[in-house]
Amino acid sequence: MDPDWWQNTEALGKEYGDLIFLKSLGQPMVIINSYDVAVDLFEKKSTNYSDRPTSVMVNELQKWDWNLINLCYGEGLRKLRAPVQKFFESSNILNFEDVMKREAQKLLRSLLQSPDEYGQHIRTSAASLIMMITYGHEIDSYDDPFVRLARNSAEHLETALQKGAFLVDNIPWLKYLPKWFPGAGFHVVAEEGARLSNDLRSKPYFFTKEKILRNPVTRSFTSKQIEECLSLADRVSEDDDDVISATTAVCYLAGAATSASVIMFFLMAMTLHPEVQRRAQDEIDRVIGDSRLSELSDRDQLPYCAALLKEIHRCYPILPLGVAHATKEADTYSGYYIPAKTVVLPNHWAMLMDPKEYPVPEAFRPDRFLPEEGRRMPRDPSKIAFGFGRRICPGKPFAEHSLFLLVTHILAVFNISKAKDVDGNDIEPDIKIRSHGVMREPEVFECLIKARSSEASALIQME
Ligand code: HEM
């Protein structure tokens, strides 16, 4: 399938309307190209539109049934979503601003030392932050054993989730074939997936739990949940272990690559749009000065930087077709019959490129999000980029806070520009967008990341 097929569905949407009904390998599928339809279905009819497509390969054979992202809506999901939502909500996660700032400064130092390795630094930084927040586990490199485990698991899961990758998802009785049977090679893949799923859930959690019970010093999502168990029952039961290990592991799976991908798009945008970069830096220089780095409380005073982040989410959606929902029961909408268990894809790409909401949508223009007399403010892209209804991303407040700090810190300290050839002329970056699974990000491209001044470099050492 064309890796950019959401763009084709956007074109089909222009021809056939805001809702497209398809059948793929016998599976009914609806693609939603309009924000209003997404709200009608995912929010106003949320009891019916909050399931996920089920997968024999993923949920049953690879035993990812603890991963709340893949679960259908119900008691099991609510039990796992509630602690994640509570921990990552804005008022609580603000208590972790010190951790977000420390991790952002670690990234600045790495960029100063070896700017050409920025891709690796960004991935390490995103992994390090989410590991600190969920487990209080500090990592030194992208090769940390827990990070490696999470990376391998995520890659394995992405392959398993690809539609049509395994016939057993269309013909479930194939799961009963013995491993040696011709065509039952999927069992070998499934066994490896089940091992990774089990390790990812249990290894970082039990390692952290033991550390916390010995010496409860580092605050984290794990320590908070363990403390709650101890205060209620004086012990952590097996049921508690099941919930805590599942809720913490899912944060890494969902939170590391997504944040890294947004920062990669940000660097790409800054390389391609120096005038936007300069305007954001001017705002930071004027409001914050050069004696400190920004804090979350500065956000209201930095409206252009906030608008810049919105435009990154709009122009470069990392999940162009969102994450698939599914219907529980049959429904009719606008005269269409939508069967039970239909896969429902919110086409974020089409919604964020809607010219009625965002005039000249292909242009990268943060100032479309600045107030202007007589003009209605366009819809905040974060209302789309983080999904809808009961399955909306529970990490949204944390992602938004940490991305704001990262973006404003990088802009305060570095100039990002096109690389130069030997004669000092700009080299046009060769930008390739890589789609893996449902997510996409730019591959590493040639650019220059240089400290803006000696004061700027000193700021990193100082903080
Ligand atoms: C820029 C970063 C991020 C973006 C753009 C993003 C976007 C999304 C989207 C579109 C969904 C699916 C929503 C739906 O089904 O309609 C989702 C789900 C989810 N996200 Fe995020 N996310 C980000 C970061 C994070 C972080 C940092 C965490 C960790 C705390 C996280 C945890 C989750 C979880 C657990 C789900 C599954 C929710 C469910 O199925 O009920 N995300 N995210």
Structure confidence at residue 7 as a pLDDT band (50, 70, 90): low
Atom of ligand 1 nearest to the CA of 256: 27
CA gap 444, 114 in Å, rounded:
14
What is residue 265's predicted lDDT score, i.e. its pLDDT?
98
Cα(458) to centroid of ligand 1, in Å? 36
Phi, psi angles (nearest 5°) of residue 266: -60, -45
Please work out whether the CB of residue 322 comes within 6 Å of at least one atom of ligand 1. yes
Apex CA 173: angle with CA 170 and CA 178, to 5°? 120
Which residue's CA is minimally distant from atom 40 of ligand 1?
69
Structure confidence at residue 451 as a pLDDT band (50, 70, 90): very high
Given the structure tokens 């491209």, which residue do they identify? 445
Q: Which CATH number fits the domain that encloses residue 46? A: 1.10.630.10
Which residue's CA is minimally distant from atom 1 of ligand 1?
259
What is residue 210's predicted lDDT score, i.e. its pLDDT?
92
Structure confidence at residue 365 as a pLDDT band (50, 70, 90): very high
Please work out whether the CB of residue 440 comes within 6 Å of at least one atom of ligand 1. no
Amino acid at 95: N
Cβ proximity of 240 and 209 under 8 Å = no
Please work out whether the CB of residue 249 comes within 6 Å of at least one atom of ligand 1. no
Cα(34) to centroid of ligand 1, in Å? 20
Q: How many domains does the chain have?
A: 1
Q: Which two tokens stand for residue 238?
A: 């097996």
Cβ proximity of 338 and 410 under 8 Å = no
Nearest to 43 by CA among 346, 343, 397: 346
Q: Which domain holds residue 360?
A: 5-462
pLDDT above 80 (res 342): yes
What average pLDDT does the segment 137-152 reach?
A: 86
Average pLDDT of the chain, as a whole number = 90
Q: pLDDT tens digits for 46-81?
A: 999 999 998 887 788 788 889 999 999 999 999 999
What is residue 171's predicted lDDT score, i.e. its pLDDT?
75
Structure confidence at residue 1 as a pLDDT band (50, 70, 90): very low
Looking at per-residue confidence, does 252 or 24 come out higher?
A: 252
Structure confidence at residue 172 as a pLDDT band (50, 70, 90): confident
Q: pLDDT tens digits for 402-411?
A: 999 999 999 9
pLDDT above 80 (res 131): yes
Please work out whether the CB of residue 319 comes within 6 Å of at least one atom of ligand 1. yes
